[in-house]
Amino acid sequence: MYFERLKKTGLGAILIACFAVIGLVSTAQAQSDAFVSGWTLQPEMSALNFQSVKKQTVVETSSFATLEGTIDESGSTQVKVLLDSVDTKVDLRNVRMRFLFFETFKFPEAVISVQLDPAALADLPQVRRKQIPVRYTVDLHGVTKTFDAQVSVTLLGNDLVSVASGTPISVSVADFSLQEGLGKLQDAANVEILPSATVSFDFVFARNDATAQPAAPDATKAAEPAKSVALEAEGDFDLAACKGRFEILSRTGSIYFASGSSRLEDKSGPLLNALSDIIARCPGLVIEVGGHTDSVGSDALNLRLSRSRAKSVTDYLLTKGLNADTILSKGYGETTPIATNDTKEGRWKNRRIGFKVLDN
């Protein structure tokens, strides 16, 4: 009754407002441990962008749509980037980035790890925002590298925090053995691309419910592979999308045979599995699997080898439940080179498996 009477007076409203402020301050003090309960990345509020430069002056900004991350009570932070979610705003450009540059069929995610220092953030409830130096590790394309940077940490609320790049971070393709992928990307797009990018991020984390006790991790359980999160139309692809994808997959160079043999090596599986999914989404089309060789050896031998290799790929695809009437294998031998046979690199490019939609 006393508080009800207070509400009816201006003084009462002021007192109640003061009690509310005191309550918020007390909550902030209770949560002065920066990482109590742990934190979870909020993907819909977070961003990871990178800028690349082509033709010397044309700047393009791309991003990733699917992010996952946590900060545990010790400040150990990990962010996973699902690389299939690369978003350049152009469908076939996304496909090139996935299959030619990042090779997501082999390396589906990048992982950023950093140890945040609780002592460096002890005053965050009071100052609300500060810059701190961090040493972080990036695992990308099978390579792990450690870097230093300044990050801005901002307390957006008692249970919401932003961890953002203080300045754009330069990343070289050479740091992560992506030079070959960059070359494929340039050939496919017929454009020169600078061999580095600038990266910026703003990761927003929400504090976990302190009353919820997360289940202990099961060390015996195998890690589940990252799910596909490609930004593309659902259902069947149209003709242009199918043709574009097969042309891009023909450039990967990720179908491997034993030397001088038509026996597929196991490491060809990831790409061929991805290819089978695409063929299944291109119904009504007949796809040619074409085998090609360099000019080393006799014409007859190269023709036989190209036919055998094309058939091996076709046989593998048919094990994925595809209709045999939709796939045709053909050997071209050395008759259709795409590069000179006078160099090792050129011969490597000519030894390939190509895919294309046959005209009805």
CB 253 within 8 A of CB 184: yes
Q: What is the pLDDT of residue 56?
A: 94
**Which part of the chain has CATH 3.30.1330.60?**
239-357
Distance, CA of 15 to CA of 75 (rounded, Å): 38
Q: What is the pLDDT of residue 192?
A: 97
* Strands 76-82 vs 67-71: parallel, antiparallel or unpaired: antiparallel
Q: Is the pLDDT of residue 7 over 90?
A: no
For the chain, percent of residues with pLDDT exceeding 90 = 80
pLDDT digits (tens, 9 = 90+) for 57-98: 999 999 999 999 999 999 999 999 999 999 999 999 999 999
Distance, CA of 100 to CA of 248 (rounded, Å): 8
Mean pLDDT (the chain, rounded): 88
Query: What is the DSSP secondary-structure string of 148-188?
Result: EEEEEEEEEETTEEEEEESS-EEEEGGGGT-HHHHHHHHHH
252 — pLDDT class (breaks 50, 70, 90): very high
Q: What is the pLDDT of residue 158?
A: 85
Q: Between residues 192 and 227, which one has the greater pLDDT?
A: 192
Query: What is the DSSP secondary-structure string of 287-355?
Result: EEEEEE--SSS-HHHHHHHHHHHHHHHHHHHHTTT--GGGEEEEE-TTSS-SS-SSSHHHHHHHSEEEE
Q: Between residues 157 and 354, which one has the greater pLDDT?
A: 354
1 — pLDDT class (breaks 50, 70, 90): very low
Q: Is 275 helix (H, G, I), strand (E, B) or coil?
A: helix
Q: What is the pLDDT of residue 36?
A: 84
pLDDT digits (tens, 9 = 90+) for 159-218: 999 999 999 999 999 999 999 999 999 999 999 999 999 999 999 999 997 444 444 444
Q: Between residues 18 and 169, which one has the greater pLDDT?
A: 169
Q: What is the pLDDT of residue 359?
A: 82
Q: The domain at 34-207 falls in which architecture? A: Beta Barrel (2.40)
Tokens of 208: 């976990």
Average pLDDT over residues 286-297: 97
Distance, CA of 34 to CA of 224 (rounded, Å): 30
- What pTM value is reported for the model? 0.86
Tokens of 25: 């301050």
CATH topology of domain 239-357: 60s Ribosomal Protein L30; Chain: A; (3.30.1330)
Burial 145-175 (b: 16+ CB within 10 A, else e): eeeebebebbbeeebebbbbbeeebebebee
360 — pLDDT class (breaks 50, 70, 90): low
* Strands 287-292 vs 327-331: parallel, antiparallel or unpaired: parallel
275 — pLDDT class (breaks 50, 70, 90): very high
pLDDT digits (tens, 9 = 90+) for 109-118: 999 999 999 8
Q: Is the pLDDT of residue 27 over 80?
A: no
Q: What is the pLDDT of residue 295?
A: 96
**Which part of the chain has CATH 2.40.128.110?**
34-207
The span from the first CA to the last CA of the chain, in angstroms, equals 85
Q: Is 269 helix (H, G, I), strand (E, B) or coil?
A: helix
Number of H helices, E strands in the chain: 9, 15
For 29, 214, 215, 258, 352, the CA distances from 248, given in Å and listed in that order, are 56, 43, 43, 24, 13
